[in-house]
Chain A
Amino acid sequence: MSKTDSDETYPERIKAGSDRMRRFFSLFGIRSAEMERERSEDK
């Protein structure tokens, strides 16, 4: 069973929000070292 938005705990929601913002900034080339490493591994 998948988790709905209301099932998410507060820290999970905060993390999901941060990840969304990170993904947004990564569109403009601003990435953390960890994201860059994952990106180069995916290639």
Chain B
Amino acid sequence: MYDRQVATLENIDDKAMRTTRTAVLILGFIAGALTAAGPDSVSDLSIVPTIIGSFGTLAVSGSAFMGVGIYTVTEYPVEIREGDLRSAGRAPRSAWLDGAIGRLDDASTSIQAEIERNAEYLEVAQLLLITGSSSLLYATAVTVAARSFGVSPGEQTAAVVIGATLMAVVLWGRVKLRDRKSRSR
């Protein structure tokens, strides 16, 4: 049981580290692209991709920071301490075992709290990463489309917002319809 909890916590830390690695790679690409494009590259962009791209960069940076935080703050409870091992020979076996089981129980309870906490942080870090990379992708797509077809980023964003709203309404309608059908059966 305790072994499995430790493995889960290690798994969360591992995922946090991989999230950080991905975020740092994305930030490196952004820095590389901006350096290659020159100092005027940002001022040449229109306001919509600049705002969305900046938001995306901030979100990805936040994800990297959180990822580092997750595996740095993780504390593994010590179920058996050095003093316990030293006293092993002196205390009667049953008394020592009783104490060890109690400490293992405490360690299991505290590691569970740590797992839940780290899992929540990881969710936020991954959400930031996915939001940030989507925003960056959107900002790039809008800029490329504006330069290729001459449609302004503002118009494109308006079209996307209207499309997404319509899609949300259609999906919501379908869910409601399915609920009504299942209730009438």
Residues of A within 8 A of B (CB): 18, 21-22, 25-26, 28, 30-37
Contact = CB atoms under 8 A, between A and B. Distances in A.
Interface in B55-81: 65-66, 69-70, 72-75, 77
Assign chain B's interface to a size class: 10 to 19
Give me the 3 closest cross-chain CB pairs, A-B, nearest first.
Answer: A33-B113, A30-B69, A25-B69
B69 A34 contact: no
Q: Is the interface of B mostly helix, strand, loop or mixed?
A: helix
Contacts of B74: 32
A30 B73 CA distance: 7
A33 B66 CA distance: 16
Interface in B77-126: 77, 110, 113-114, 116-117, 121
B72 A36 contact: no
A18 B117 contact: no
A32 B69 contact: no
Contacts of A31: 73, 117
A38 B114 CA distance: 13
Contacts of B116: 33
